[in-house]
Amino acid sequence: MKTIRVNLSDNSYNIYIDEGLLEKIGDTLVKEKTPCKTLLITDKNIEKVYGSIVSESLLRNKFDVRLVSLTPGEEQKTLETAFILYDACFDHKLDRNSLIVALGGGVVGDISGFVAATFMRGIPFIQIPTSLLAQVDSSIGGKVAVNHPKGKNMIGSFYQPRAVFIDTDTLATLPATELVAGLVEVIKYGVIKDAELFEFIEKSLYDILQLNHDALLKIIATSCQIKANVVEEDEKEKHLRAILNYGHTIGHAIETVTNYKKYRHGEAVAIGMLYAARIAIDMGLTDNTVFERQLSLIKRLGLPLQTGLKPEEIVKTLYADKKVISGRLRFILPTQIGEVIISDQVTEEILHRILNKPL
């Protein structure tokens, strides 16, 4: 088992990564938390494969578990669903020492964390992420939220879990398209912070896609460590944490314009990373290899490259984004593989030039 510590003074916690962790979840958890009333939140896809393994392991260790299963999908991440979960909390008589367990992908993690953060002003919760995206990104760092008709993740908070348990075996049932979309965030970590991780993905892509345990452990643990380090330095995204948004500025715009229906998050981010690299080249910050190496990996993953969207539409959406500060866009731009800068020097003219050129 690999353990990564996230140091956030009073809110510090461990991320445990291993195979076969789900069966032992109760035994591991009981070392950190006295058995208590527990609401296990998952979605219907995940319940089918892992619901009983997790609830039985918790029950064996005297956790009084009630399972609630949501309809899968981002559309469920609403205040209405949160309300149903609050009802379940009351119904199962949870109090401030109880526990919420999030078993699932990013959707389950975000909404469970949101309910944990707000029920009785905050009760303990743990994350058991089952999608690669959730394992390397959304389960760590304490961003919890639900969506609002005016925008994704607009109602939320920073609320850290008590622990994160990552069982690499769960990826065996994850649809391949979801795995590949999650890998984009891993590639992102390579570009922003770790040239060696990037090279490892280039060399070991086959093993990763075959779900070789050592390869998975390496990419997941390295990604978690990078995210932990960034969050430790800047928990509330005042500055440094923004580097995690590499590829996300244009990525989000693409998701917004297409109503979050055409692309998975990782697919939109992959396109966003390539455009960000192009911008960096255009501004003389880096050379072509930074773009070419990312392009080559993204092509090998079979990810879409063309959006068919009008550049004007993307630019308009970019300026409407919540991250625009005093009319200037903030971009994360690579200077080499493993290093990025935060820039507010990207002009509308550069954007039009870049977006008009096919990838």
Residues lying near ligand ADP in the complex (CB under 6 A) are found at 43, 45-46, 49, 72, 74, 104-108, 130-131, 133-134, 138, 170, 173-174, 178
Dig out the tokens for 121 from the structure.
């002003």
Cβ at position 219, least distance to ligand ADP in Å? 16
Q: Which of 37, 77, 143, 193 is catalytic?
A: 143
Contact yes or no for 285/333 (Cβ under 8 A):
yes
- 227 is a catalytic site residue: yes
Q: Which is nearer to ligand ADP, 195 or 217 (CB)?
A: 217
- 121 is a catalytic site residue: yes
Dig out the tokens for 350 from the structure.
């550069």
Cβ at position 149, least distance to ligand ADP in Å? 19
Q: Which is nearer to ligand ADP, 69 or 286 (CB)?
A: 69
- 237 is a catalytic site residue: yes
Measured CA to CA, the distance from residue 256 to residue 324 in angstroms comes to: 15
Distances (CA, A) of 51 to 48, 101, 322, 355: 6, 12, 37, 45
Angle formed by the axes of helices 213-233 and 176-193, nearest 10°? 50
Cβ at position 265, least distance to ligand ADP in Å? 6
Cβ at position 223, least distance to ligand ADP in Å? 14
- 143 is a catalytic site residue: yes
Q: Which of 77, 193, 264, 265 is catalytic?
A: 265
- 185 is a catalytic site residue: yes
Q: Which of 19, 199, 232, 237 is catalytic?
A: 237
Q: Which of 31, 80, 121, 150 is catalytic?
A: 121
| Residues in CB range of 351: below 8 A, 6 or more apart | 279, 311, 314, 315, 318, 329
- 252 is a catalytic site residue: yes
Q: Which is nearer to ligand ADP, 12 or 173 (CB)?
A: 173
Cβ at position 3, least distance to ligand ADP in Å? 21
Alpha-carbon torsion angle 303, 308, 313, 317, nearest 10: -10
Q: Which is nearer to ligand ADP, 186 or 277 (CB)?
A: 186
- 162 is a catalytic site residue: no
Measured CA to CA, the distance from residue 336 to residue 160 in angstroms comes to: 32
The one-letter amino acid code at 98 reads S
| Residues that are catalytic | 121, 143, 185, 227, 237, 241, 245, 248, 252, 265
